[in-house]
Amino acid sequence: MSGLFHDLERSPTNTQVALDELLSAAKWNDDGLIPAIAQQHDSGEVLMMAWMNRAALEETLSTGRVCYWSRSRQAFWRKGETSGQQQQLVEARFDCDGDTLLLQVDQSGPACHTGRRSCFYLRLSTSMAEIDREPLMSADELYGMNR
Amino acid sequence: MSGLFHDLERSPTNTQVALDELLSAAKWNDDGLIPAIAQQHDSGEVLMMAWMNRAALEETLSTGRVCYWSRSRQAFWRKGETSGQQQQLVEARFDCDGDTLLLQVDQSGPACHTGRRSCFYLRLSTSMAEIDREPLMSADELYGMNR
């Protein structure tokens, strides 16, 4: 584990470190990415998980609008750029070992590309999985007929 | 993307599929793992993120006690086995493309190995990061003096 995150584990509350130093110590994976969980700030609903590289995180913190890194497109993914359903950043946090981000966001409309509010609409039981969330709008409405 | 998850995107609410079929279509990474977000079921607090392989998820669903796969120890990690702070499963969900799990849990005491309730105690701003959560107990209390 990175020395800085390890040192912070036992540091007192209110300890501060420079963002640049923390980002240099964070555990970006072999592709330079860290998973980021997006949670609606007021309801607490977990909306989605996507990935960020350092530049995407820095852009998100400076603009206040959430920007991921799309692994499939290998490009910045400014949430809402195509669908119009933006994510505004309320708060960003790293976890104890610097390998996961938690974003408190304000999401307009659906976060999921299927038109559902959250991507987590497949509930598991011991033998089955079931779709238990309705779309707020269709994928066609969200992206037009090109999709 | 897996055909099954893609097909389910436009399937009606209440559509069911066999768990075995869903797990075979899920996007386990090159190490056979999927990230699992643990959220306290009643407060909505996101507690931690860890990893599961298929066997860990199947055990979790059948026992109702959360079992991860520890990447550092390369072994099953039954939450609370060492610390006593167990995680009981309330609900498990897959996301739209089958590469992330969301677990609603009932966590006793701290979820974080630092003794804090949540692992996400490092709040970011545009230039700084700050520890803003107190431990519920010390790591020594949590694990004894061996750590």
Q: Any CB–CB contact under 8 A between A122 and chain B?
A: yes
Overall pTM surpassing 0.90 (yes/no):
yes
| Cβ <8 Å between B119 and A11 | no
| Cβ <8 Å between B125 and A61 | yes
Contacts of B134 in chain A (CB under 8 A): 13
Q: What is the pLDDT of residue A144?
A: 73
Q: How would you classify the pairing of strands B87-94 and A16-18?
A: unpaired
Report whether A105 contacts A89 (CB < 8 A): yes
- pLDDT confidence tier of residue B114, bands split at 50, 70 and 90: very high
Domains in chain B, start-ordered, CATH in brackets? Answer: 3-109 (3.10.20.810)
Is it the case that residue B44 has pLDDT exceeding 70? yes
Q: What is the 3-state secondary structure (H, E, C) of chain B?
A: CCHHHHHHHCCCCCCEEEHHHHHHHCCCCCCCCEEEEEEECCCCCEEEEEEECHHHHHHHHHHCECEEEECCCCEEEECCCCCCCCEEEEEEEECCCCCCEEEEEEECCCCCCCCCCCCCCEEECCCEEEECCCCCCCHHHHHCCCC
- pLDDT confidence tier of residue B145, bands split at 50, 70 and 90: low
The pair of structure tokens assigned to B73 is: 């120890």
Q: What is the 3-state secondary structure (H, E, C) of A83-136?
A: CCCCEEEEEEEECCCCCCEEEEEEECCCCCCCCCCCCCCEEECCCEEEECCCCC
- pLDDT confidence tier of residue B123, bands split at 50, 70 and 90: very high
Question: Does B119 show up as a binding residue in the annotation?
Answer: yes
| Cβ <8 Å between B96 and A102 | no
Q: In sequence order, which residues have a C-beta less than 8 Å from that of residue B60 and are 6 or more positions away?
A: B52, B66, B67, B89, B92, B103
What does the pLDDT average to over A1-22? 92
Tell me the residues of chain A between 19 and 78 that have a Cβ less than 8 Å away from chain B.
19, 22, 35, 37, 39, 43-46, 48-49, 61-62
Q: What is the pLDDT of residue B147?
A: 41
Min Cα separation B85/chain A (Å): 17
Min Cα separation B96/chain A (Å): 5
Counting residues of chain B whose pLDDT is more than 70, the rounded percentage is: 97
Contacts of B91 in chain A (CB under 8 A): 123-124
Residue of A nearest to B48 (CA): A95
Q: What is the pLDDT of residue A139?
A: 82
Name which of B111, B86, B11, B1 is nearest A72 in CA terms: B1
Question: Does B112 show up as a binding residue in the annotation?
Answer: yes
| CA distance linking residue B3 with residue A99, whole number of Å | 30
Q: In sequence order, which residues have a C-beta less than 8 Å from that of residue A12 and are 6 or more positions away?
A: B131
